[in-house]
Amino acid sequence: MTSAEQLALFNELTGRKATDVITDATKYSWLAAAERYVIAMVTSMKPSIFYQKVGTTSLPQLLTADNNVFTFGVDVDDNPLVPYGHTQIYRNVRDVPDRPLIVNVDYLDEGTQIRLVRNRHHTGPLYWRGVVDPPPISSEENPHFVPSQANELTAIRAAQRFAAGGNIRNPALVGELRTQWAERYPYWCLLWKKQFSAGGALTSFSLIDAVTPLL
């Protein structure tokens, strides 16, 4: 599903026209927020579903200035990256997937960074598997869920928030969209849990101007 197709689905769900007083840019911002919501919901259940699907040797590396405190890099706005949920950290790509460092034994989890315990230092790379927000959906950035049909969740959530908010409240439409969400969200969660338990339900993406490598 392209961003244009997702926008068309949003318009269909909400009864909006393609030529609308509400700009496409505004609608895309709603879709981007809805996608972040879905990611947060799923990662609260099983974050590994959205682990990046890249070659093991291409896993992103943590960054450090002193070999004791390591960060995950920054996003396009220079804000520190904070991975969702549980993040796996490895000393060597040969340790993937079953020998990650152990939190509170090997390192302390401090949100935007990790700190090696007992003032230890590590001079080699540290690799990580985790979930961060993809670039926001726009006319040039397609939605990110795999399989592509799962991007309907984002359109349903965005349409629901639109129908429930501002001066355009539509209780009947809100109820209809909640029913759709109640049907489709469990379906996709079950499919992701069964077929993407180790990752890959988010398309690989680059963080433009970010410090971290390909995600």
The whole-number pLDDT of residue 62 equals 95
Q: Is the pLDDT higher at 8 or at 56?
A: 8
Instruction: Compute the distance between CA of residue 30 and CA of residue 190 in angstroms, rounded to an integer.
Output: 25
203 domain-assigned? no
Alpha helices in the chain (DSSP H): 3-14, 24-45, 152-164, 171-195
Q: Which two tokens stand for residue 96?
A: 């993937």
Residue among 146, 101, 103, 108 at smallest CA distance from 124: 101
215 domain-assigned? no
Instruction: Compute the distance between CA of residue 177 and CA of residue 214 in angstroms, rounded to an integer.
Output: 36
205 domain-assigned? no
Q: 121: burial class by Cβ within 10 Å (0-12, 13-18, 19+)? A: exposed
The whole-number pLDDT of residue 167 equals 64
The tens digit of pLDDT for each residue in 115-148 reads 999 999 999 999 999 898 888 999 999 999 999 9
Q: What does the pLDDT average to over 167-185?
A: 89
pLDDT confidence of 168, banded at 50, 70, 90?
low
pTM across the whole model: 0.85
pLDDT confidence of 209, banded at 50, 70, 90?
very low
Q: What does the pLDDT average to over 23-37?
A: 96
The whole-number pLDDT of residue 84 equals 85
Residue with tokens 């077929």: 195
pLDDT confidence of 24, banded at 50, 70, 90?
very high
For the chain, first and last CA: distance in Å? Answer: 20
202 domain-assigned? no
Q: Which two tokens stand for residue 9?
A: 């689905």
165 domain-assigned? yes
Q: Which domain holds residue 105?
A: 3-195
Say how many residues make up the chain: 215
